[in-house]
Chains A and B, each alone.
Chain A
């Protein structure tokens, strides 16, 4: 299948793929296990879920800028994803189950995998809220994603679905995760999040910053990926269910029914954020006698760690100060500044004077800055991107998320953070590689003893590598901060598969 405009292909994709349910600011993430003996009941539950799953076609009908809030009243969205164990319990054939990728089959909680993903020390499985291997409550089988425009609406829907899954004997592993969009789309440390997303061919997104699009197969199975190959696609035997309604794949003169087409792997990680710990460390590193200067320095160091100012403006464009006046109303010009994704590093920031080489955004997407070869670097960067669809969870420390307020309110006892969700066609190449070699890697871009200062793992490692420093290039010599504590802790996750609409329907016929 070649990707033309997939948006024309009505109702094939679950809506989260083409957009994160943008106008529906409240979400609930429900993690379910199918207890032993409840497999048939679970199938009945899935039969109730599938007809209600929101496809992209529906999202297109929602008015983009609705002046009347009531238009959103009663609109809610539902998407669903399954782990390998979940699909097995729901009756998918052995040969189909075998056709998924290795990380998905082995699971995120494979003990060897945890070492590579930095799920050690404070991030180790024994500290997870759910999803650890051998957990007594059961394996993580199913993920429901619920979205609505108000708190009341999302909770009404949640109650409705809760009655259904309880009736069918399914159980939650943890209470549903509460999520609502924070002020200005920021995350809990006070930084605007989710700005740079790859443009994926065929998904119909407007390419405002003229970035190079990546191939459809980087997100969806059934299409060519960035190596111009087709990601491995699980096929179904022509013996069970309504296999003949599934999309076909052709190999030579053979054709087979593919379960994976129009589906995507969904990486789910619950990341707890320690806001006071973050700002306290920064304040200590930048303390001076002048309170105002200290606050400015504290925010500047945080900005150097992230790579963008709290407002979202990239250091690459404004290295010395944030140009946004918070009192001014957001117009198109301000929107473009905050969401700017049109910059490269090789030409005018080779040494990281503006955006430090070890900063979060440079690690997540090195663009043209690797190995002194901008063309090859761009080619490499394009092979390790993912669509991020996660949201913050929990209540903010302070509604306006101003750094000085976040510092002064000493309150890390409440559970808050980020539900990290990434959609990709190849878990190992896109997610695991970025996590291990770029985010947590102390030798990323030939650095020495630093991992991602904000989200990286700073715990002692078995191989003796030190990861808890961060250097800010300066004249005459760099400024280095040490002993960075762990600001973000992994609290549970799993590898899910988000099937296409036809695959979901096929599941209900097994």
Chain B
């Protein structure tokens, strides 16, 4: 057989192999790092085929489901990185001295984070004010029930290392308000319990010998998180909550075998990821137990991904009765009974806990609570029957309003859920995000039950 014919057959075989790999993944591949939304297979409908949208969806599906996708993406990313020192990942920004930042930190620094939510600065300021007032109210309600609520403001890389940020791009916008300074002011004004870890980081930045936040990572470094949480636990007890067993911190050491904090470096998805120097660590051990009858407190942590470094370093099972991690008030970790916050009896969970920590870095403060605060107020101030009555009324309103119903119907079709479920989702969303509109007594800022 002539060489061209052989090569043609080999090419066809390679293409078939690629399709098979995309379907069955029988050759193990190093997976790509980071989260992304995997598209579903688009069903062809006459309307979507004729207007061209099905073709676009199919193109997207094919891009995510062909074989050997991982090395192909890494190869091209490596070419772009090596030749032009750029990244195609829109969420990662390359700063000076090879410091990497997540996009929202850069946006926060240049005061353009506002535009993710609104173009009206006053609207954002009003949102901050409303959340802070709700938080103060929730704090008081929980205090009366024996639960201590506080906010831990964690460091953002744009505040800690602004000197390595890239210059502002040419598309400048009118600066908007920044969440961190606004919430500091509001927390003071409304008496919200908070611990400002960011301020502490800025104070020690020039004196410490370790990276507070690694060049190729987005979170606080392992060692910095360890020192910080030790201080946070002291603050918790200062608030008057149940005692927490003491810990002892060892001497810092470098561990070359441990994977460094380089999640942003990995997110570049290169064939040869950028190297990061080894990090320093501190071992945590329990202090001698002085009170063996002491009941360990229960802790709920609600917030962003910064808590993971605490989870990895501290013997939390020995310090707390339980530590339930409500990740962005969505997925739940370290709770054997619940996977998602929608499954939780929120009222009971908050009353049972001894501490509730809202843990957010400066860049994530714009979404403080992730709609937890409004929902918690409703649950604590109203009975299940009263809440259900409001929910039923809202659902009926949606069904009766032609435009609203059509909007929800379109949403149900795009999400692949029933109309009833979509109506219920909409009603719940309104209750959680605008409780004052539907629960009159929340407007006067006081729960009716506390009047007794």
Whether A and B are associated in the same complex: the answer reads no
Interface positions of B (Cβ within 8 A of A): none
